[in-house]
Structure 1
Amino acid sequence: MTLHEMVVGSGPAHAVFLHGLFGQGKNFGTVAARLGDVATCHLVDLPNHGRSSWTETFTLDNQADVVGDWLEQRFGHPVALIGHSLGGKVAMRLALRRPELVDRLMVVDISPARNVAAAQFVNLVAALRTLDLDSLTSRTQADEELSELIPDDVVRRFLLQNLRRKGDTWFWQANLDLMGDSLHAVGGWPAIDGHFDGPVLWVNGGRSPYVQPEHLEPMRRLFPRVLQVTLKKAGHWVHADDPDGFVAVVRHLLADA
């Protein structure tokens, strides 16, 4: 298994960013550039995403193990781990299972619970699967064909970043079949023992439905040192909706790293 990373900045702290479902590490590029004085940011493509290797099966724990093995090989010390959405779930599982690899944790707009809001991806994946890649001639054509099924321009173009071309052949860079068939696992949270004793920032979008009041108890039980921060004007894509607030919170996380 190999994981692709993009390194941005040269600050003293090492911060590893894990993106959400159907995202890529480069989605944090603008944020990372603003952190270059305090951190060397490692923007990782999760397994089955971007330029990273695909796995044959999907569970939160096997994805966390792949990332954990990469951290162990890549660094000789624990790092700050920042995960959004699916990346946040992978980061939490990793911190709980292999705490020696994680110095501090930032979980962005996701909870250690089943997330009903993730069901929106069922329709999105179904829409992507309607594209006939063999007859596709351009990215513009793909955008037009999906515009009725995915009317939100931002969401549609975010998903289409996974559509790639080699010569005359179009393909999905993300493992669309595996991830699409694993949405129940993506939205879930299997029982897990133990807790993570390091500092944890839990950053939520004030306009997002992903984090609910009933999620506070399991979050505190698993992460006793958690501090919750809500960025009121942000939705689920917190780092894109409120980049100033997001950068400020990451700087707080790294302040004494």
Structure 2
Amino acid sequence: MLATYRFGPQTGTPLLIVHGLFGSARNWGVLAKRFAVRRPVLTVDMRNHGASFHAASNGYEDMAADLAEVIAAHGGVADILGHSMGGKAAMVLALSRAAMVRRLIVADIAPVAYGHTQLPLAEAMRDLDLTGIERRSEADAALRPRVSDDTTRAFLLQSLDLKSAPPRWRLNLDVLADEMPRILSWPEIAGRHDGPVLFITGGASDYVRPEHRPVIRTLFPRARFVKIPGAGHWLHAERPRDFGSAIETWLDAK
């Protein structure tokens, strides 16, 4: 089963938080503890990420099945918050196993295929010579020529295990690179999810565009939309207070 971390009360319907590509449960620690004041919270490392198992495939049907296993082990039903890749996995779960998903929150992603690629980031990490690197600042300097954006580099380096001898990435970079076309795509899946769904997006992000709304409403008829002004794709990291408040307001609404 996926590496799973629990916060908050032992009773009640949990909120399961699902990270995006190259992320991990640890990226969501601060928000998980905030949400756990009112409800049990579960965070996971997705397959080929963090402390979870490595596998040869990284498709959305696989990831949805992984999440179903976690939910089954923690009461059989959950509210789910998924960001980016994790949001797609959560949507596939809701469409294929609706009874497991009470409320769904999708952060800055749509149920569509995307034309961009994150393959250069996977290749930059895979090509990085970790020999002799002892500090994160050294890894940062070595990665800078291939990844110029400071925020992106800092995010990627959270998955570098410097306590390992030698240092290693907590990512199965070979599989993630090979499976990038599937990660960027959207699987052929029938049906719709009639439960409440919140699509929360960054005002400065273009991942969820007006032309995506028809397909969103077809698959999720009860979809509602909230935008965080000034936030980009990593809206939970850039505007954590606004993001957390929007989530809590929607979860607490009757």
Q: TM-score, normalised on structure 1?
A: 0.92
Tell me if structure 2 keeps the 8 A contact 1:38–1:251.
no
Q: Is 2:87 the partner of 1:88?
A: yes
Q: Distance in 2 between matches of 1:219 and 1:124?
A: 29
Tell me if structure 1 keeps the 8 A contact 2:105–2:198.
yes
Shift of 1:137: 4.6
Could you tell me which residue of structure 1 aligns to residue 22 of structure 2?
A: 22
Q: Is 2:167 the partner of 1:170?
A: yes
Could you tell me which residue of structure 2 aligns to residue 140 of structure 1?
A: 137
Could you tell me which residue of structure 1 aligns to residue 51 of structure 2?
A: 51
Tell me if structure 2 keeps the 8 A contact 1:111–1:215.
yes
Q: Which amino acid aligns with 1:6?
A: Y
Aligned pair count? 253
Could you tell me which residue of structure 1 aligns to residue 36 of structure 2?
A: 36
Write the deviation string for residues 95-154 of structure 1: whole angstroms up to 9, x where unpaired: 11111111110000000001234x1x1221221122123454543322111112112122
Shift of 1:167: 4.9
Gaps of 5+ in 1: none
Gaps of 5+ in 2: none
Q: Distance in 1 between matches of 2:149 and 2:193?
A: 38
User: In the alignment, which of 235, 249, 252 is matched to residue 252 of structure 1?
Assistant: 249
Shift of 1:36: 2.6
Range with greater deviation from structure 2 (46-55 or 137-146): 137-146
Distance 1:69 1:6, change over 3 A: closer
Task: Note the 1:119-198 alignment, pairs <5 A.
Answer: 119=117, 121-134=118-131, 136-198=133-195
Could you tell me which residue of structure 2 aligns to residue 104 of structure 1?
A: 103
Shift of 1:21: 0.4
Secondary structure of residue in 1 paired with 2:14: strand
Q: Distance in 1 between matches of 2:159 and 2:169?
A: 6
Could you tell me which residue of structure 2 aligns to residue 242 of structure 1?
A: 239
Could you tell me which residue of structure 1 aligns to residue 198 of structure 2?
A: 201
Q: Which amino acid aligns with 1:222?
A: L
Q: Which amino acid aligns with 1:185?
A: R
Distance 1:172 1:194, change over 3 A: same
Shift of 1:24: 0.7
Secondary structure of residue in 1 paired with 2:40: strand
Write the deviation string for residues 214-245 of structure 1: whole angstroms up to 9, x where unpaired: 11011100001000111122100111111122
Range with greater deviation from structure 2 (200-209 or 155-164): 155-164
Q: Distance in 2 between matches of 1:216 and 1:99?
A: 21
Range with greater deviation from structure 2 (53-62 or 137-146): 137-146
Task: Note the 1:69-88 alignment, pairs <5 A.
Answer: 69-72=69-72, 74-88=73-87
Sequence identity, in percent? 37
Q: Distance in 2 between matches of 1:150 and 1:48?
A: 21
Q: Which amino acid aligns with 1:175?
A: N
Tell me if structure 1 keeps the 8 A contact 2:135–2:162.
no
Q: TM-score, normalised on structure 2?
A: 0.93
Q: Distance in 1 between matches of 2:135 and 2:32?
A: 31
